[in-house]
Amino acid sequence: MALGRRRGCAGHRESQKLLKKALAGGAWANNGDDGTARAQESTNTKNHVISERRRREKLNEMFLILKSLVPSIHKVDKASILAETIAYLRELEQKVEELESNKAAGTTVVRKRHEVGGKKVLAGSKRKASELGGEDTPLPKDGPSNIVNVTVTDKEVLLEVQCRWKELLMTQVFDAIKSLRLDVLSVRASTPDGLLALKIRAQFAGPGAVEPGMISEALQKAIRRR
Amino acid sequence: MALGRRRGCAGHRESQKLLKKALAGGAWANNGDDGTARAQESTNTKNHVISERRRREKLNEMFLILKSLVPSIHKVDKASILAETIAYLRELEQKVEELESNKAAGTTVVRKRHEVGGKKVLAGSKRKASELGGEDTPLPKDGPSNIVNVTVTDKEVLLEVQCRWKELLMTQVFDAIKSLRLDVLSVRASTPDGLLALKIRAQFAGPGAVEPGMISEALQKAIRRR
DNA sequence: AGAGACACGTGAAGC
DNA sequence: TGCTTCACGTGTCTC
């Protein structure tokens, strides 16, 4: 899936993959001339290969979904996705607990976002809290650079935008999306101190296929516009 | 890691792994007799191999954590773990949203069409006893009715929309927002099976004050539009 | 130049 | 029996 490589948009991995796939297909297509156990063997291994390929694809797709679901994932590698998911899960759980206890008591507490929680409230987790080579920065120090990440899966499009906040920014972004004929499925956007973190899951509205490059470009333009 | 295989307890995979590791170590240990590029090459590939091994271990460890964190994981294969995590994440998120909206809106248990009036009262919300520990309410079983909730505070506007999903719904909503001259600050929208749950925080762009009634009306129209 | 990340094909094990 | 899942070593890319 090249979770991280997709950033540049070039997709070298993809082309390589397709090339390999095509090569394999061509090679295996016409080897039935020795109609014996060999052919059967070949068929079996071929099926095995494509099965494995499907499995990997499925897994990677889920990784993508996870990435889209968890805010403050800015690194794109699998380990980070899992780690952030874990952290977010704990945070959410703890927040639910807090809110529910607040429901009982009348007072409302100011809730702040993300804290590094050491304590666990789930039963049965006897796990030692080690692991992770010390990668625990909740909000990395991303520079002033804008980040536009576009991922296209099957019929779904994942949009990730990060940039400085400015007036009517969101409006411009959604105008761009509208122009791209994308139908928005889910949105998550927040503006913590002057920054925008935006994550959108969408699908193509109608059969008009659009290149990821175009999407990325349009978004870039939208967030650059004065 | 043999996530699923570990069930039996024997751990055949483990022994096999260790065996292989030992074999490799022994084999590579004494091949420095040809102290040339070959040895260097071997060292490199060996490092590569163990690096990859570590990476896999880390990943699998996180899978385990995830599995321990998410209740209602019954199958143990990786795909299921990811899938259940995704589902649980969505569920949790939605619950948080619900609880928070209850807190913010203050006694808005019975949602009415467009409640007006800037008030951030935080009275003891008398929620009807619904869920709680039992995370078994994936969706608030509201009828087919649309819910549009508009709250105006100082210079901020809180929009809450719930309705059936349809194509280009989001686009229409954001068009309405644009027309209302609202500048979006944060968004959270999700579409769990055919429904839309949308929450927007915005502020007035420019001095043109708009009545909450108009906002509500415009939103209603937007989500009604065919 | 070296470490880290990913996809790939392959052998093994469970159902 | 065949299908699925996994771990593994390897080639390749990026930083």
Residue-level pLDDT at A25: 42
Residue-level pLDDT at B121: 31
pLDDT digits over B94-122, tens only? 787 677 666 554 433 333 333 333 333 32
Question: A3-17, A44-58, A110-124, A125-139: which has the highest mean pLDDT?
Answer: A44-58
Q: Please check the confidence at residue A195 and state whether its pLDDT lies above 80.
A: yes
Report chain A's mean pLDDT, rounded to a whole number. Answer: 70
Q: How confident is the model at residue B34 (pLDDT cuts 50, 70, 90)?
A: low
Q: How confident is the model at residue B51 (pLDDT cuts 50, 70, 90)?
A: very high
Judging contacts by C-beta atoms under 8 Å, the chain B residues touching residue A205 are 167-168
The residues, ordered by sequence, that sit 6+ positions from A31 with a Cβ below 8 Å of its Cβ are A39, A42
Q: How confident is the model at residue A144 (pLDDT cuts 50, 70, 90)?
A: low
Q: Closest residue to C14 by CA to C1' distance?
A: B5
At residue B105, φ and ψ (nearest 5 deg) are -75, -20
Question: Of all residues in chain B, what percent are helix, strand and coil, respectively (each to 5)?
Answer: 45, 15, 35
Q: Do B65 and A86 touch (CB under 8 A)?
A: yes
Q: Tokens in use for B199?
A: 């929450």
Q: How confident is the model at residue A35 (pLDDT cuts 50, 70, 90)?
A: low
Using DSSP, state whether A149 is helix, strand or coil: strand
Q: By the CB < 8 Å criterion, does B87 face chain A?
A: no
Using DSSP, state whether B160 is helix, strand or coil: strand
Q: What is the DSSP letter of A210?
A: -
Q: Is residue A60's beta carbon less than 7 angstroms from any atom in nucleic acid strand C?
A: yes
Q: What is the DSSP string of B20-40?
A: HHHHHHHHHHT-TTSTTHHHH
Q: What is the mean pLDDT of residues B52-61?
A: 94
Using DSSP, state whether B184 is helix, strand or coil: strand
Taking the C-alpha atoms of residue B214 and residue A194, their distance in angstroms, rounded to an integer, is 29
* Poorest-pLDDT segment among A97-101, A174-178, A195-199, B195-199: A97-101
* Poorest-pLDDT segment among A37-46, B84-93, B127-136, B175-184: B127-136
Q: How confident is the model at residue A113 (pLDDT cuts 50, 70, 90)?
A: very low
Q: Please check the confidence at residue A105 and state whether its pLDDT lies above 60.
A: no
Q: Within 13 Å of residue A135, how many CA atoms lie on the same side as its CB? A: 15
Q: Please check the confidence at residue B81 and state whether its pLDDT lies above 90.
A: yes
Q: Please check the confidence at residue B82 and state whether its pLDDT lies above 60.
A: yes
Instruction: From B10, B15, B14, select the one nearest B1 (Cα to Cα).
Output: B14
CA angle A224, A176, A159 (to 5 degrees): 85
* Poorest-pLDDT segment among A4-13, A31-40, A199-208, B70-79: A4-13
Judging contacts by C-beta atoms under 8 Å, the chain B residues touching residue A109 are none
pLDDT digits over B164-186, tens only? 888 899 999 999 999 888 999 99
Q: Tokens in use for B99?
A: 């609880």
Q: How many Cβ atoms are within 10 Å of B79's Cβ, its own excluded?
A: 13
Judging contacts by C-beta atoms under 8 Å, the chain B residues touching residue A93 are 69, 92
Within 169-198 of B, beta carbons closer than 8 Å to A belong to 170-171, 174-175, 177-178, 183-191, 198
Cα B168–chain centre separation: 22
